[in-house]
Every structure is written in C-alpha cells, then in structure tokens.
C-alpha cells in the first residue's frame, strides 16, 4: 500500500514531498526554488481562493490589480520596509536580449534608467497610488485586495512552504482613524482564523508577533499559527496594522471633517499558497493527501467494478444514477470510468489524491441495491443502501469536515505544553516539540537567547489579558505567557 510514499515516521520531510508528488499537486521547475502548480494543486488553491474572496467581499472589500514591477526608488521610501525586503528582491536591470552566435545575451545598451523590482509585496506601489485616490475623508476607507504572485529571493526553499515565487492575496486598506484601522486589522485576522478552521479544518491560535517577527514597516503584526503533525509551527496568515508609516513615506493625507489635513492609517494582510503546505501537514497520512470536503476539488469519486461488457454497461448506468443524484445536491463528484486501470489501482490513486469519499459499485451492489462507501480520512469501508444515499453522503461530508477539525485540534492540544522553568522548556522543545506556553520578560535579548539555545521562537503573544508571572529565563516580570515553538 502507498508504495511510493515514504512513511511519516521514517522521514517526515520526504513524506511531505512524496505526498505532493503522488497527489499531483506540484513539481519542481527548472528554476531554483520555483514550482509548477499542477491542475490538482491549482484546483485546490482555486477553492481556497474562492472561499476567501467571498469572505473579503462580505466584509466590504473589492479586488484590484497593481503592477508586478516596482520602481526601485519606491522601495527606499519606508526605512523599516526597505531593510526587511532589500535582501530578497529580484531586480530587472535590462529590457532586451540580443543574439550572439546561436545564443542570446543581455544587450548592454538596453540598461534601464531606473531599475525595477519584482514585487516582494505591494505596499509601496499601492501607497503611491493611494496618494492620488485620497483627498477627503469621504474617499475613506479604501478596502482593496489583490490576488497576485510575488517574488522573494529565498536561500532555502520547500514546495508550497517557501518558494521564490508564490501566489497570494494582499489586502491593503486606508482609514481615517487609528481605531478603524486597528479594527480592520483584527477583523481580517478573524477572517483568516475562520477560514483556517471552517474551511481548512486547521485549528489556529491568534495573537501578535514580537518586534523581531514583525512585518517590515508595520506597527503591529497579528498572526494565526497552526501546529503541524511533526510538532513544528506554521505561520498561516498575517494581518498588519501599519499605523501611518506608509502614509508618511508616500505623503498620503486627507482633509478631515474639521478641515485639517491628516495622515491616513493603514493595514495590510495576506495569506499565500503556503496554506496548501499547512493543509497537507495537518491532515494527510502515509497513504497520501487527506483533504477537507469543503476544499476538495472532487468530494466523491465513483469507481465502477465489472467483468463483462454487459456488467460494465449496467454498473455504469447505476453509477451515473448516483452521479446525477449527488450532482443535483451540489456535491463535487466524478465517475472514474477509465477502463485501463483496475479498481485497486484507482482506489490507491484516489486515496493519494485525498478525495474524501469513494463509492464503489459492482454487480453485487446492483443486485442488492447497495454501494460500498469508503472514507478517506478513517480508511473505513461500509456497505450502504442505495436508498437515500444522497442525503447521507451530504451529511457524511459534513461529518468528515467536522471530524478532521476535531482530530487536528485534539492533536494540537495534546502537543501543547505549559512550562514554568527554562530547563523544563528546553526538555519539552527537545523531546516533545509542539507549542509551549511560557513566561517571557518581553525583551528581544531573551527572545534571541532562547532562539539560539533551543531553536524555538515566540510564535505569538496572546491577545487580551493573561496571568502575570516571571520570565523562565531571567526571572524578570512577565505580563503573560507567550507561545513558543520551533517553526517552519
């Protein structure tokens, strides 16, 4: 079984790569750190995108599109922002090639007057644009999102988790008041958390980043953090309160009701194809991908089983009847009527692809008016009556969605510890991994020391009040426990 997939126990990293290959989600391209997203992977991303997009629209946002290329001078306008991204930018310096003995080389004559940066994120070009869109308080708020690709010149890449080019959405909003901008930041964090939990069935914790983990140019960075099966944390989404940093840098002011000219308040927020990596490492197993029904491109696959042509015809007719019934109920379903693979092969293939439910129908089922129903997540098989199948399948898909979440949440909770001493902390991080709550004195020095000594970083500071205590390292006062983990 699953003969092409390394077990999680043997090598989790290799397992992750094998699952992606066997589920045909993506593959490496000839360009270092860049991937080809295959149709299965793109269909999954499209479902995620559609769900998120609707959530953005429901909260009053509109989509727009800004350029891929950003003039170099824009990047230097916000000091923190430059510092954060300078080291990982792709730069366009020339505009054409010329032929040289059978090959091509960069034409030195085509050197650009001002070099262009391939966007690592779009704050700069968007704020340069917003300056022209905003004059009055009546122009605010601006609630815009864009779906785009961005490029960050990464040293070390992993499919979906960290690639040089990736797909994402970036929301960029402009507000008249600080309070409104903070509300927006928090609202979008909630949207991300809801999406992660209700659609991806991936439990997340919400919180705020420390200064060292903050987005370059933000006043505060909020995040959702998920815990993967191997005990490492994954930052799954971020929402930034940008204060007036970009408004200052790009001189974006509005005339308020009181006639005063004021700087605009800003937010930005994003999630990326990295979420697919999180999805894989939350639910999948040694047989391959496991997908939550709400995001699965195909929710149910019907595998017909037959010997003779007469049987084939009868079975396919039976299968088509089921297909029609479920299709009518809004289930994403397909019939795998390929004749060149036997059922066992198809079973294995659909399991690797993570299709939540499989219905097998053969002559025996026709005779008894049954189907065989198999759950991908539990690997169970049951004979079920054909009568009322549609509504039971619908219910089952809902159950799977809920159970995947509960299972992931239980695992997350089991892998979450709370410690009071640094020795205990070091031991837990080393032996058990997972999330660890502990007191921290709030200084970057202590944070850095912990990171150097244990590889664990502060994933988030919880929102709201916590119980006071003493830092596990320095013994200095701590306002609340913060969440540590080794992360991706």
The site for RNA (CB under 7 A) is made up of 1-5, 13-14, 17, 22, 28, 30-34, 84, 87-88, 152, 154-159, 161-164, 166, 213, 215-216, 235, 238, 272-274, 287, 305-307, 312, 339-345, 347-349, 351-352, 360-366, 372, 374, 379, 381, 452, 455, 487
Nearer to RNA, 14 or 410 (CB): 14
Nearer to RNA, 99 or 340 (CB): 340
In the complex, minimum distance from the CB of residue 232 to RNA, in angstroms, rounded to a whole number: 10
Nearer to RNA, 123 or 142 (CB): 123
Radius of gyration of the chain (CA): 26
- 299 phi and psi, to 5 degrees? -90, -35
In the complex, minimum distance from the CB of residue 131 to RNA, in angstroms, rounded to a whole number: 25
Nearer to RNA, 432 or 455 (CB): 455
Lookup result for tokens 């994120």: 121
- 267 phi and psi, to 5 degrees? -140, 160
In the complex, minimum distance from the CB of residue 385 to RNA, in angstroms, rounded to a whole number: 13
> Left (φ > 0), alpha (ψ -120 to 50) or beta: where does 441 sit?
alpha
In the complex, minimum distance from the CB of residue 469 to RNA, in angstroms, rounded to a whole number: 28
In the complex, minimum distance from the CB of residue 93 to RNA, in angstroms, rounded to a whole number: 16
Nearer to RNA, 170 or 184 (CB): 170
Nearer to RNA, 264 or 361 (CB): 361
- 133 phi and psi, to 5 degrees? -85, -20
Pairing mode, if any, of strands 357-361 and 370-375? antiparallel
In the complex, minimum distance from the CB of residue 259 to RNA, in angstroms, rounded to a whole number: 39
Nearer to RNA, 162 or 411 (CB): 162
In the complex, minimum distance from the CB of residue 433 to RNA, in angstroms, rounded to a whole number: 12
CA dihedral 61, 67, 71, 73 (to 10 degrees): 0
Between CA 335 and CA 324 the distance in angstroms is 10
């Amino acid at each position: 079984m699953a003969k092409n997939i390394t077990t999680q126990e043997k090598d989790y990293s290799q397992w992750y790569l094998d699952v992606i290959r066997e589920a045909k989600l993506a593959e490496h391209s000839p360009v270092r750190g860049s991937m080809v997203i295959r149709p299965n992977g793109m269909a999954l991303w499209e479902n995620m995108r559609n769900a998120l997009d609707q959530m953005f629209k429901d909260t009053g946002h509109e989509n727009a599109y800004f350029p891929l290329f950003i003039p170099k001078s824009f990047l230097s306008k916000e000091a923190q922002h430059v510092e954060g991204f300078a080291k990982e930018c792709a730069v366009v310096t020339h505009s054409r090639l010329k032929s040289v003995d059978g090959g091509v080389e960069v034409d030195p004559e085509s050197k650009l007057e001002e070099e262009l940066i391939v966007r690592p994120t779009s704050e700069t070009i968007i704020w340069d644009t917003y300056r022209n869109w905003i004059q009055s308080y009546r122009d605010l708020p601006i609630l815009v999102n864009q779906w785009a690709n961005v490029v960050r010149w990464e040293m070390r890449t992993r499919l979906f988790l960290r690639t040089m080019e990736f797909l994402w959405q970036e929301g960029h909003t402009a507000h008249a008041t600080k309070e409104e901008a903070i509300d927006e930041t928090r609202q979008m964090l909630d949207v991300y958390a809801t999406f992660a939990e209700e659609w991806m069935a991936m439990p997340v914790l919400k919180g705020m980043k420390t200064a060292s983990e903050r987005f370059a140019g933000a006043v505060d960075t909020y995040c959702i953090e998920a815990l993967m099966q191997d005990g490492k944390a994954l930052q799954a989404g971020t929402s930034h309160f940008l204060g007036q940093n970009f408004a200052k840098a790009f001189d974006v002011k509005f005339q308020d009701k009181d006639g005063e000219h004021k700087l605009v308040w800003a937010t930005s927020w994003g999630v990326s194809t990295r979420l697919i990596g999180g999805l894989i490492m939350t639910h999948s197993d040694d047989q391959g991908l496991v997908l939550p029904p709400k995001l699965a491109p195909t929710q149910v696959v019907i595998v017909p089983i037959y010997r003779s042509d007469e049987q084939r015809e009868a079975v396919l007719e039976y299968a088509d009847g089921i297909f029609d019934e479920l299709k009518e109920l809004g289930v994403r379903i397909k019939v795998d009527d390929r004749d060149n693979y036997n059922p066992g092969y198809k079973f294995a293939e659909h399991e690797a692809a993570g299709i939540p439910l499989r219905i097998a129908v053969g002559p025996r089922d026709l005779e008894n008016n049954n189907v065989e129903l198999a759950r991908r997540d539990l690997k169970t098989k049951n004979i079920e009556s054909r009568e009322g199948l549609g509504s039971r399948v619908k219910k089952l898909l809902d159950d799977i969605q809920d159970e995947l979440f509960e299972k992931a949440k239980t695992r997350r909770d089991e892998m979450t510890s709370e410690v009071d001493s640094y020795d205990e902390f070091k031991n837990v991080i080393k032996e058990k991994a997972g999330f660890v709550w502990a007191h921290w004195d709030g200084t970057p020095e202590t944070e850095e020391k912990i990171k150097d000594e244990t590889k664990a970083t502060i994933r988030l500071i919880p929102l709201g009040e916590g119980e006071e205590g003493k830092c596990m390292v320095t013994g200095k006062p701590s306002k609340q426990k913060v969440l540590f983990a080794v992360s991706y």
